């Protein structure tokens, strides 16, 4: 089953009545459903691709009827649109998944956590909850996630819901041990929950992925593909490239640049990308047109990622800032000639030294830039026109 099949996606949220007519209700599910999840191989679609069954099992074992389910629609990755589109168009699929989780994990609360800027997604989810019958509706509260990159990270979401601060915390304790209000908590991305809704129905499978295509592609935006489709095929379905690309960013800002010839042949699924040392992250695939400068692009993204450090851990706060500054000096032509070496050394030193994965994601991205754009980084001169802009 495709998540976005049914009425035109642009037509707004599917009503509960239409959703039930199209798909039928969710059958009764017991704890055995975790086995179904495991056999499906469903992995989290928020970015980390963590096995969903493992997460559910960990919460189920500790729940004692006290667990909390956090529906994660923070979607802080700037280029990603798939989560808010899904909430806006198919809110009941997401809610089905959330209530299935609540039932299987014997949770007493469901918290819908949506990025504060995603207004239409929030409106659609609020309306959808109001359409649900009372025992379900009574479980739900809403919370607005701050528009920060790390706000959707599990520990940051828990921190925000407990104390109003959306910064990561030191783990352990993990959310499944001590989450919202100290209760075992499942934090699950909205796309993952929609796939759960699909899996729970007879003959259901979690065989598709939601992508956000960005940059030099004819139809930028959300595209649903079957797992295993190549990036080249996904681009073809989106109307092809608008101009010859210099590189493809696989996995968004925590992802990696890949040479186009290599990228076209990559199969889009977590396992095969992992074998290539890549990750799908939250599903963003970006095309950098050959007319854009990869060094300036990299510097801009590094400045963004540095500014999105939650400034709690020294290696992340100072390290990402230093990396972004060195990239910027190269892009502006003001480097002393040693910045490339500094970038290599700092990138290796910063990795793995934050309480969350923010610095790791940033240096994975940077390392791929230094590799794929080695020539451009070595010979970059300032673009006077761009600088004066």
Partner 1 sequence: MSTELKLVVDRIKCDGRGLCAELLPELIRLDDWGYPILAPGPIPEHLRALAQRAVEDCPVLAMALRRAERKQ
Residue 354 touches partner 1, criterion: CB under 8 A: yes
Counting residues that bind partner 1 (by CB under 8 A) gives 17
Residue 313 touches partner 1, criterion: CB under 8 A: yes
The correct pick among 322, 340, 367, 382 for binding partner 1 (CB under 8 A) is: 322
The correct pick among 170, 307, 334, 381 for binding partner 1 (CB under 8 A) is: 170
CA distances, 188 to each of 55, 265, 301 (Å): 9, 30, 27
Taking the least distance from each CB to partner 1, the nearer of 3 and 327 is 327
Q: Minimum CB separation from partner 1 for residue 378, in Å?
A: 23
Residue 319 touches partner 1, criterion: CB under 8 A: yes
Stretch that binds partner 1, among 113-121, 274-282, 300-308, 317-325 (CB under 8 A): 317-325
Stretch that binds partner 1, among 4-12, 53-61, 119-127, 162-170 (CB under 8 A): 162-170
Q: Minimum CB separation from partner 1 for residue 255, in Å?
A: 23
Stretch that binds partner 1, among 44-52, 67-75, 311-319, 380-388 (CB under 8 A): 311-319
CA distances, 259 to each of 232, 256, 262, 290 (Å): 12, 10, 5, 11
Residue 51 touches partner 1, criterion: CB under 8 A: no
Taking the least distance from each CB to partner 1, the nearer of 301 and 326 is 326
Cβ–Cβ < 8 Å for 177, 62: yes
Residue 315 touches partner 1, criterion: CB under 8 A: yes
**Which spans in the chain are helix H?**
16-23, 33-40, 52-62, 82-89, 91-104, 119-131, 134-137, 154-163, 190-199, 231-237, 260-264, 270-275, 294-307, 314-332, 339-350, 358-372, 374-378, 384-388
Stretch that binds partner 1, among 109-117, 131-139, 199-207, 346-354 (CB under 8 A): 346-354
Residue 353 touches partner 1, criterion: CB under 8 A: yes
The correct pick among 162, 230, 242, 312 for binding partner 1 (CB under 8 A) is: 312
Whole-number Å distance between alpha carbons of 363 and 302:
9
Site string for partner 1, 205-234 (x = CB under 8 A): ------------------------------
Token match 């649903």: residue? 224
Buried b / exposed e over 250-272, threshold 16 CB at 10 Å, is bbbbbbbbbebeebbebebbbee
Q: Minimum CB separation from partner 1 for residue 274, in Å?
A: 18
70 contact partners, CB below 8 Å, separation of at least 6: 110, 111, 113, 157, 158, 161, 175, 179, 180, 185, 186, 187, 188
Q: Minimum CB separation from partner 1 for residue 275, in Å?
A: 23
Phi, psi dihedral angles at 287 (to 5 degrees)? -105, 125
> How long is the chain?
389
Whole-number Å distance between alpha carbons of 292 and 211:
23
Residue 142 touches partner 1, criterion: CB under 8 A: no
Residue 245 touches partner 1, criterion: CB under 8 A: no
Cβ–Cβ < 8 Å for 183, 200: no
Stretch that binds partner 1, among 122-130, 164-172, 181-189, 221-229 (CB under 8 A): 164-172
Q: Minimum CB separation from partner 1 for residue 48, in Å?
A: 14
Q: Minimum CB separation from partner 1 for residue 172, in Å?
A: 8
Token match 């969903």: residue? 52
The correct pick among 230, 355, 360, 367 for binding partner 1 (CB under 8 A) is: 355
- Give the sheet arrangement for strand 284-289, strand by strand: 221-226, 208-215, 284-289, 245-250, 256-258
Q: Which residues pair with 142 in a beta bridge?
A: 112
Residue 329 touches partner 1, criterion: CB under 8 A: no
The correct pick among 16, 346, 373, 377 for binding partner 1 (CB under 8 A) is: 346
Whole-number Å distance between alpha carbons of 195 and 44:
10
Residue 289 touches partner 1, criterion: CB under 8 A: no
Residue 349 touches partner 1, criterion: CB under 8 A: yes
Contact positions toward partner 1, by CB under 8 A?
168-170, 312-316, 318-319, 322, 346, 349-350, 353-355
């Amino acid at each position: 089953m495709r998540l976005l099949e049914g009425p035109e996606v642009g037509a707004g949220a599917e009503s509960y009545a239409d959703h039930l007519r199209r798909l039928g209700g969710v059958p009764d599910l017991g704890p055995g459903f975790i086995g179904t999840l495991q056999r499906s191989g469903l992995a989290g679609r928020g970015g980390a691709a963590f096995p969903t069954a493992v997460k559910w099992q960990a919460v189920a074992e500790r729940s004692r009827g006290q667990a909390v389910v956090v529906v994660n629609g923070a979607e802080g990755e700037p280029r990603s649109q798939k989560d808010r589109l899904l909430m806006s168009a198919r809110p009941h699929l997401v809610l089905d998944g959330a209530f299935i989780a609540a039932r299987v994990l014997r949770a007493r609360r469901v918290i819908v956590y949506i990025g504060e800027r995603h207004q239409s997604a929030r409106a659609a989810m609020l309306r959808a909850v109001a359409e649900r019958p009372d025992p379900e509706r009574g479980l739900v509260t809403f919370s607005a996630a701050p528009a920060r990159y790390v706000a959707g990270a599990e520990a940051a979401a828990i921190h925000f819901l407990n104390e109003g601060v959306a910064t990561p915390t030191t783990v352990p304790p993990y959310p499944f041990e001590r989450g919202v209000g100290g209760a075992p908590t499942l934090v699950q991305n909205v796309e993952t929950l929609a796939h759960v809704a699909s899996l729970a129905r007879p003959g259901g499978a979690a065989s598709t992925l939601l992508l956000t295509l960005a940059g030099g592609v004819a139809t930028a935006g959300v595209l649903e593909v079957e797992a295993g489709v190549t990036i080249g095929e996904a681009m073809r379905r989106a109307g092809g490239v608008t101009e010859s690309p210099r590189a493809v960013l696989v996995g968004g800002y925590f992802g990696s640049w890949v040479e186009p010839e290599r990228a076209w042949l990559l199969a889009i699924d977590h396992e095969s990308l992992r074998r290539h040392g890549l990750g799908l992250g939250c599903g963003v695939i970006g095309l950098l047109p050959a007319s854009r400068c990869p060094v300036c692009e990299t510097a801009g993204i590094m400045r963004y990622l540095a500014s999105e450090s939650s400034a709690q851990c020294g290696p992340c706060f100072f390290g990402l800032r230093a990396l972004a500054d060195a990239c910027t000096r190269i892009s502006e032509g003001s480097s002393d000639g040693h910045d490339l070496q500094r970038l290599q050394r700092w990138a290796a030193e910063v990795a793995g030294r934050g309480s969350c994965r923010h610095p790791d994601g940033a240096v994975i991205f940077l390392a791929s830039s230094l590799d794929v754009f080695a020539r451009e980084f070595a010979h970059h001169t300032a673009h006077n026109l761009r600088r004066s802009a």
